[in-house]
Amino acid sequence: MTRSLSGTPIGKWALRLILGAIALSAGISIYSRPSFEILYNPWVVNPGCLKEDNCLRLYILEIGNTGRETQESISIEVNNKWLEEPLLPPKAAMFGKLPRPMEQEIDEDRTVWTVGKLEPGKRIEIKFTLAAQTPEELPDWEDILVHAQEYLPSPGALRASEQRG
């Protein structure tokens, strides 16, 4: 009857040490959390067309502070072309529920939304609704969001998370 080394208590610890050494040498850490990191996720909800000439789309931009430090100023730049006459104007909320003040600086062809300070582990959602005669006339987030990276100041990483819709 053969018995493997991994079946013994010493073998289990040896296996764990070897796997740990491999993970450390590859730079993998389950305990690593950067000091400064912002994740943002633009997504849409397409309820469809209410009538033949009245199509709606709800736009949601989630912004989360996944770092260990407070971000002092969070701003997003968007294209004015699509936001001239929204059905429901942009509003910011903590965790999508609690209203949060949002300043808007409007120039000729862009608007900068500033939601201010964001503590670690907190999340903001900015929502608005656009309407058009056909679904094809409604823009995608790529047409609206201009420079998230340049307007989410952070000494650390800014990453777009995977889109939901």
pLDDT at 36 over 90: no
Out of 12-16, 55-59, 94-98, 103-107, pick the least confident.
Answer: 12-16
Q: Which of 23-32, 91-100, 140-149 has the highest mean pLDDT?
A: 91-100
Q: Which 8-state DSSP code applies to residue 146?
A: -
Q: What is the residue extent of each domain of the chain?
A: 1-32, 37-160
Query: What pLDDT, on the 0 to 100 scale, is given for residue 8?
Result: 61
Distances (CA, A) of 47 to 56, 58, 85, 127, 130: 6, 8, 19, 15, 11
CB 152 within 8 A of CB 158: yes
pLDDT at 116 over 80: yes
pLDDT at 112 over 60: yes
Q: Which pTM was predicted?
A: 0.71
**Which fold would CATH assign to domain 37-160?**
Immunoglobulin-like (2.60.40)
